[in-house]
Amino acid sequence: MPRSHDYTGVAGSSRDQPVQAAVLLVNLGTPEAPTAQAVRPYLAEFLGDPRVIDYPRWLWWLILHGVILRVRPARSAHAYQRIWTAQGSPLRVGSEALAARLQEKLSEACAEPVRVALAMRYGQPSVPAQIERLQREGVRRLLVLPLYPQYSATSTGSVIDAVAEAMQMLRWPPELRLINDYHDDAAHIDALARSIEQWWATQGRGEKLLLSFHGIPSRYVREGDPYLEQCQATTEALRQRMGLDETQLLMSFQSRVGREPWLQPYTDATVRELAAQGIRTLDVACPGFAVDCLETLEEIAMQNHEFFREAGGDALRYIPALNDTPNQVGSLAALVMRHAGGWAEFAPRAGSPA
């Protein structure tokens, strides 16, 4: 089924008043369908990115095309089938919903029309395509917000590459700002804490709270990637904000790929160990993901739930990502307006609540 990638959140603009400023949200990207055929080109682009896998190109090309792309697409497609919705991939649906809510919020809060658009780092709509389109529509100021709270060269760094590539193709690039990370932004930490507390208020509280972040190879951290430090800082800020200590709020890393050691402790080993220690109900949140996706809905809520039960636990309860909730829309709107300081379009509108 063909689908349109022409996501435009143009509320607050009109033809006679060209939009001058825009926010471009960028998320990872996701396959077009939960089939091996659709997952293959997605994985080829993602795992072919030297920011993600830094092996010598010729060697990696042989491994990727000779082995990985023969086996993994079918396995990943099966995982995607477990979470696919009538509207499509949760990552796409959730990112589009967040962009639409942020558009509404900024239209209310900002002095002049500000456009919100969404791009995907891998797949469609691509970063260069969206920047080129915004430019055609008259945007002269662009704020890029990668939807990764913690900076990693493998995620945020790769978005920066794509933005740079887009800039190279323009004769007159827009004025550009880019948010590197928001891992310790007070409004973001507050949004996370409130979402967990609100979830506890309706579901009750488990015996422990585990924060599971996407992993990366440990070597990348040794070589200077600040990702681990930023995950630790987010965790510590949440402990402070929620009044929890290291025994009540734990942290681990999920989604390991390949043979190199990744950041530890691993999430799957941690949930098994907690069950073995006698924990029966475990709450898990994934603050590294702005919107729910394969890694939260399938890997945590399904796979790790099963690991926890096999090891003797009763229930691993996944606390949803911030998604398009007022908690997240409010904290991201404030973040954007702060980073756009000095750009008149983003100044608070007189009498606006934000």
Ligand X SMILES: C=CC1=C(C)c2cc3[nH]c(cc4nc(cc5[nH]c(cc1n2)c(C)c5CCC(=O)O)C(CCC(=O)O)=C4C)c(C)c3C=C
Annotated binding site for Fe(2+), which residues?
Answer: 214, 295
255 lines the binding site for ligand X (CB under 6 A): yes
The smaller minimum CB distance to Fe ion, of residues 268 and 345, is found at: 268
User: Any idea which residue has 């080109």 for tokens?
Assistant: 41
72 lines the binding site for ligand X (CB under 6 A): yes
Does residue 154 contact residue 60 with C-beta atoms inside 8 Å? no
CB of 258 to Fe ion, least distance (A): 12
Provide CB contacts within 8 A for 46, sequence distance 6+: 28, 29, 52, 122
The torsion angles phi and psi of 29, rounded to 5 degrees, stand at 110, 165
317, with CB counted inside 10 A (0-12, 13-18, 19+), is buried
d(CA 31, CA 13): 31
d(CA 272, CA 194): 28
The torsion angles phi and psi of 211, rounded to 5 degrees, stand at -100, 120
Q: Which stretch, 80-88, 253-261, 263-271, 304-312, contacts Fe ion (CB under 5 A)?
A: 253-261
Q: Which amino acid is at 121?
A: R
Provide CB contacts within 8 A for 56, sequence distance 6+: none
Q: 129 is in the binding site of which of ligand X, Fe ion, none (Cβ under 5 to 8 A by kind)?
A: none
98 lines the binding site for ligand X (CB under 6 A): no
User: Any idea which residue has 């389109």 for tokens?
Assistant: 133
130 lines the binding site for Fe ion (CB under 5 A): no
Q: Which stretch, 148-156, 196-204, 231-239, 307-315, contacts ligand X (CB under 6 A)?
A: 148-156
The smaller minimum CB distance to ligand X, of residues 114 and 216, is found at: 216
221 lines the binding site for ligand X (CB under 6 A): no
* Residues contacting Fe ion: total by CB under 5 A: 3
Q: Which stretch, 14-22, 227-235, 240-248, 295-303, contacts Fe ion (CB under 5 A)?
A: 295-303
Q: Which stretch, 3-11, 16-24, 87-95, 255-263, contacts Fe ion (CB under 5 A)?
A: 255-263
Binding site for ligand X (CB under 6 A): 28, 30, 43, 52, 72, 76, 89, 91, 148, 152, 154-155, 214, 216-217, 255, 257, 288-289, 293-295
